[in-house]
Chain A
Amino acid sequence: DGGITQSPKYLFRKEGQNVTLSCEQNLNHDAMYWYRQDPGQGLRLIYYSQIVNDFQKGDIAEGYSVSREKKESFPLTVTSAQKNPTAFYLCASSLRESGSNEQFFGPGTRLTVL
């Protein structure tokens, strides 16, 4: 079945450690996105990518990094520079980076910093 997978579902990290969240899609979508969701709040865009080897910062990119070496994969690294990383992280993809296309979402990764 086509879709977006994110792993792991739950992730615990000690303060000061970097951690990488995985996002894979087999929908043949060009564009991919990372969002952060805090309790009781909407989604905020961290990074997005329109094409392989290209990505742009979203609204809250500080303390995060991404790569897009393959069309199917868009991993997100939460670095130790991110001051408040505990949150729910959602990955999404769309046919192209365009306002006309709906984004399809993965199941999310819940990150907790201990």
Chain B
Amino acid sequence: AQKVTQAQTEISVVEKEDVTLDCVYETRDTTYYLFWYKQPPSGELVFLIRRNSFDEQNEISGRYSWNFQKSTSSFNFTITASQVVDSAVYFCALSESAYSSASKIIFGSGTRLSIRP
């Protein structure tokens, strides 16, 4: 069965610190997709990144970076020089192959990130 684990329930750091959010997943599929979403206090989930299982290159987008390691089944998310606006709940998610007729996204339980001024 598929599963996504975000062991960090809450993280609090001071502004400008770097912070890493951990994500560990389980799947039997060889082809799958991983996602990160941000949920600000308004409640709406905002898509951040998608990564397929064949692409292990790390990705950087501004202050955000993602480290995908198949060997450890992890897809960690790092925010560099954090800002107060980064405060939100962050969800890691996993989806089956595009060829599955019933593919769904499985979400982790989320990590609440608080950035203190």
Task: Give A59-98 as 1s and 0s: 1 = Cβ < 8 Å from B's Cβ atoms.
Answer: 0000000000000000000000000000010101000011
Which chain A residues lie closer than 8 Å to B97 at the CB level?
Answer: 99
Which of the four size classes fits the interface of chain A?
20 to 34
Which chain B residues lie closer than 8 Å to A44 at the CB level?
Answer: 107
* Alpha-carbon separation in the docked complex, A69 to B95 (Å): 27
Majority DSSP secondary structure for residues of A touching B? loop
B110, A100: Cβ atoms closer than 8 Å: no
* Alpha-carbon separation in the docked complex, A58 to B104 (Å): 9
Is B98 interfacial (CB-CB < 8 Å)? yes
Majority DSSP secondary structure for residues of B touching A? loop
A45, B104: Cβ atoms closer than 8 Å: yes
Is A56 interfacial (CB-CB < 8 Å)? yes
A99, B109: Cβ atoms closer than 8 Å: no
Which chain A residues lie closer than 8 Å to B45 at the CB level?
Answer: 43, 90, 92, 105
Interface residues of A (CB under 8 A from B): 40-45, 48, 56, 58, 88, 90, 92, 97-100, 102-108, 110
Which chain B residues lie closer than 8 Å to A43 at the CB level?
Answer: 45, 91, 107
